[in-house]
A and B are shown apart, each in its own frame.
Chain A
Amino acid sequence: MFESIVHASELTKSLFLMVVGVAGVYATLALFYLMVKLLMKAFKDHDA
């Protein structure tokens, strides 16, 4: 699939970039969200 995108028009590539980019930012920040939740849980009794 990725191969066909590489050979697609610039506009198609930009639309692909939009979908993957937005999804990527959400996914990465979702990971950060889980990480913060875990850290806050693990160290809730530590020095504030």
Chain B
Amino acid sequence: MDKLFVGMTSQQIIQYIIQHMIMFGIGGFLIYLAIKKEYEPMLLLPIGFSTILVNLPLSAVLEYEGTPGVLKILFDAGIATELFPVLIFVAVGAMIDFTPLLANPKMLFFGAAAQFGIFATTVIALLLGADSLKVASAIGIIGAADGPTAIFVASKFAQKYLGPITVAAYSYMSLVPLVQPPVIRLLTTKEERMIRMEYKDVKVPKTVKILFPIFVTVIAGIIAPISVPLVGLLMFGNLIRESGVLERLSKAAQNELANIVTILLGITIGSTMVAEDFLQPTTLIIILGGLAAFVFDTAGGVLFAKFLNLFLRKKVNPMVGAAGISAFPMSARVIQKMAQKEDPSNFILMHAVSANVAGQLGSIIAGGLILALVPLLTG
């Protein structure tokens, strides 16, 4: 304890204690949300505990007497190198079933519309005082509604804020049932929310399911080469799933790989939640920006659907546009629930699922474009 306060005035000591008590409170609150409210417990619990670990006196998990601690070693090996987020993409790819999207590819456009929040929030974050375009775009990427993409972009552009960005991304994803409905209700009429959509059961050939991840990787790789670690590894996971000959590997990616990397990712991201970095005005911008991102994503999807309805003979239920975010399957469920609230016999779940899967693709493409464009703009 003597070493801890060497050279500090009594005022600095009090400030240090208060800051660290706040961080313990935040860590405890994240653990509470994970256990009691079940808000993304797989990530919020390790992050919450790690927040407590790194704010203990002398933070031995980060560094002790010049030797790197375990969380510092994990950070350098898994986050600084982007290894952990990329491995998570393999797992996520093995979990995604693109069949609803392949059967109804029109929904891809909703997956594009609902990425609007990412870019709008980048502008808003700068207006609110974000340090730079890189930090602003790392805040905007919360609107990807996709944890691994947010982590990947933030680890490139704003490592210092990786903790709060990840916490905001996962927290708002779990709050989709609270964030989306008011925005949708504000932008649609009851009649629009009652629009029925015809669903055709289209059989998707296995060959298409196998070729899809390969072609997507090639196209994305040509358009934005820097997006290949994201798109390529996601599609690799998906190819393992769809090949039909790698059942064991597919299950390993979905379970063992996902679980191990999630544990390491959570506790390592939490290691960035040190008081000195977290208790800054930028954290407030991240929290506000995250909410704005989800609101603008939802609005982007709904307004795009309404715009299409000006030209379409068979109208689209505009709520489906809101499902174009990546939070799968939560957003699709929210939309179906809202549709049934207006008309119990209306069933738009399959369309919403297609849009939701498109959102998973759209968010990664948006992340890849940000990774490609921002360095060009910042020089």
Residues of A within 8 A of B (CB): 2, 5-6, 10-11, 13-18, 20-22, 24-26, 28-33, 35-37, 39-40, 43-48
Contacts and interface: CB of A to CB of B under 8 A. Distances in A.
Interface stretch (B3-11, B121-129, B173-181, B340-348): B121-129
Contact of B373 (A17, A29, A36): A17
Interface size, B (range): 35 or more
B207 interface: yes
Is the contact region of chain B dominated by helix, strand, or loop, or is it mixed? helix
Interface stretch (B21-29, B37-45, B158-166, B361-369): B361-369
A6 B379 contact: yes
Interface string B344-363: 00000000000000100110
Q: Which 5 A-B pairs have the closest CB atoms?
A: A48-B203, A18-B119, A46-B205, A36-B105, A43-B205
8 contacts: A14-B122, A17-B137, A17-B374, A21-B115, A25-B362, A28-B224, A29-B361, A40-B202
A44 to B, nearest CB: 7
Contacts of B220: 28
B121 to A, nearest CB: 10
Contact of A37 (B105, B126, B361): B105
Nearest to A41: B208
B327 interface: no
Contacts of A37: 105
B35 to A, nearest CB: 37
Contacts of A20: 369, 373
Nearest to A40: B208
Given A33-B105, A37-B105, A25 B366 contact: yes
Interface in B152-198: none
Nearest to A46: B205
Given A2-B376, A32-B219, 17 more contacts: A10-B126, A11-B126, A13-B377, A13-B378, A14-B123, A18-B119, A24-B223, A25-B115, A29-B362, A35-B212, A35-B215, A39-B211, A40-B208, A44-B205, A46-B205, A46-B207, A47-B206
